[in-house]
Amino acid sequence: MPELPEVEVTRMGVEQALLGATIEAVRMGKPLRWPLQVAPQRLVGQRIQSVQRRGKYMLLQLSQGVLLVHLGMSGSVRCATEVGEAGVHDHFDLFTTRGVLRLTDPRRFGAVVYAPHMDHPRVQQLLGHLGVEPLGDAFDAAYLHAALRGRSGSIKQVLLAGQVVVGVGNIYVSESLFRAGIHPLRQARRVARPRLERLVQAIREVLQRAIVLGGSSLRDFKGTQGGYGDFQHEALVYGRAGLPCVHCATPIRRVVQGQRSTFYCVRCQT
End-to-end CA distance of the chain: 28
Nearest alpha carbon to residue 196 among 182, 206, 178: 182
For residues 60 and 249, give the distance between their C-alpha atoms in angstroms, rounded to a whole number.
Answer: 46
Is 267 in the active site? no
Instruction: In the chain, count H helices and then E strands.
Output: 6, 10
Rounded to whole angstroms, the Cα distance separating 261 from 263 reads 7
Angle at 202 between CA 248 and CA 127, to 5 degrees: 140
- Which is catalytic among the residues 2, 5, 134, 184? 2
223 half-sphere exposure, CB direction, 13 A CA radius: 21
CA 119 to chain centre: 22
Farthest-apart Cα atoms in the chain, separation: 60
Residues 6+ apart with CB under 8 A from 52: 11, 58, 59, 61
Verify whether residue 56 is a known catalytic residue.
yes
Q: Of 27, 47, 98, 260, which one is the catalytic site residue?
A: 260
Among 6, 8, 53, 56, the one annotated catalytic: 56
Distance, in Å, from the CA atom of 100 to the CA atom of 22, rounded to the nearest integer, reads: 11
Select which of 3, 6, 8, 15 is catalytic: 3
The dihedral region occupied by 108, where left means phi > 0, alpha psi between -120 and 50, and beta the remainder, is left
Give the residue numbers annotated as catalytic, written as ranges.
2-3, 56, 260
